[in-house]
């Protein structure tokens, strides 16, 4: 298959401190038909919404959800899936440093 690689970094002008990243997961978090990017970090996890507007594309950091603002997780891995059987994506975080694992059910 044909793969085009972009060297354009994700937005880093969000005012948030950088963290060590451990995992990245693609999932259509906002149910718009385009995959969004969830980055698992040792501090704040980042949710980048895939913005598609006609022929232009890009990513926007979403800080309006606990998925992207919960800073006490020390996350190491994550998985999206319909864990509660209601038809939408939920998230489970595997955390370290005595931080409890977290489950986020989309409502």
Cβ atoms of 105 and 83 closer than 8 Å: yes
Top pLDDT among 35 and 16 is at: 35
Buried b (16+ CB within 10 A) or exposed e, 11-34: eeeeebeebeebbebebebeeeee
pLDDT tens per residue, range 24-79: 999 999 999 999 999 888 888 889 999 988 777 888 888 887 776 666 678 899 99
Are β-strands 102-104 and 36-41 bridged in parallel, bridged antiparallel, or unpaired? unpaired
In degrees, to the nearest 5, what angle opens at C-alpha 83 toward C-alphas 79 and 84?
A: 150
């Amino acid at each position: 298959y044909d793969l085009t690689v972009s060297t354009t970094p994700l937005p880093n002008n969000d005012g948030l401190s950088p963290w060590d990243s451990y995992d990245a997961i693609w999932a259509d978090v906002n149910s718009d038909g385009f995959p969004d990017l969830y980055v698992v970090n040792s501090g704040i996890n980042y949710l980048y919404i895939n913005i598609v507007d006609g022929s232009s594309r890009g990513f926007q950091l979403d800080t309006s959800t606990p998925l992207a603002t919960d800073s006490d997780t020390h996350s190491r891995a994550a998985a999206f899936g319909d864990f509660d059987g209601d038809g939408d994506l939920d998230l489970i975080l595997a955390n370290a440093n005595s931080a409890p694992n977290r489950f986020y059910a989309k409502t």
